[in-house]
Amino acid sequence: MHPVTRTFLCDENGERFFGAGPCRLLRGVERTGSLNAAATEMKMAYTKALALVRGLEKALGTPVICRTIGGKGGGGSRLTSQAKELIERYEQYETACAEANRAIFETCFCGFGKAAPSLDGEPSDWQDNTAR
């Protein structure tokens, strides 16, 4: 048994707008220089990737990708400074949440399944049936 932490950001209406998937997508844009290439790597339709980016930009009120249209040398995309800061802060937040969750889990479930005292200090009725 182990804890799982899923971290995402919501707007003022409680709607999710950023999490692990959009973060991976932006990292892919940063690495490949292309929203289409990043979406393809994730096996995501370009239209879905574009919708995610537009939703993110709407929620934040600022662009996250600067797009260059075709032409000589082709087009491409790059992250704005706001997008880079969002990714950095989100990853720090995600790591801190996972670490806090692991610590809380250890406190709450330490010895669970074994003959251990309960959280209130009273002896537990739990018996370790695996020893039989």
Helical axes 20-32 vs 81-109, angle rounded to 10°: 140
For residue 119, the model assigns a pLDDT of 61
- Asked whether residue 23 carries a pLDDT value surpassing 80, the answer given is yes
The dihedral region occupied by 89, where left means phi > 0, alpha psi between -120 and 50, and beta the remainder, is alpha
For residue 75, the model assigns a pLDDT of 76
Where does the pLDDT of residue 99 fall: very low under 50, low under 70, confident under 90, or very high at 90 and above?
very high
- Domain spanning 9-131: CATH 3.10.620.30: no
Rounded to 5 degrees, φ, ψ at 9 are -110, 140
Mean pLDDT of 25-35: 96
H or E segment at 9? strand 9-10
Q: Which residue spans within 15-110 are E strands per DSSP?
A: 16-18, 65-68, 76-79
What is the Cα Rg of the chain in Å? 22
Q: Do the Cβ atoms of 18 and 91 come closer than 8 Å?
A: no
Q: Which residue has the higher pLDDT, 112 or 12?
A: 12
Q: What is the pTM of this model?
A: 0.78
d(CA 105, CA 115): 18
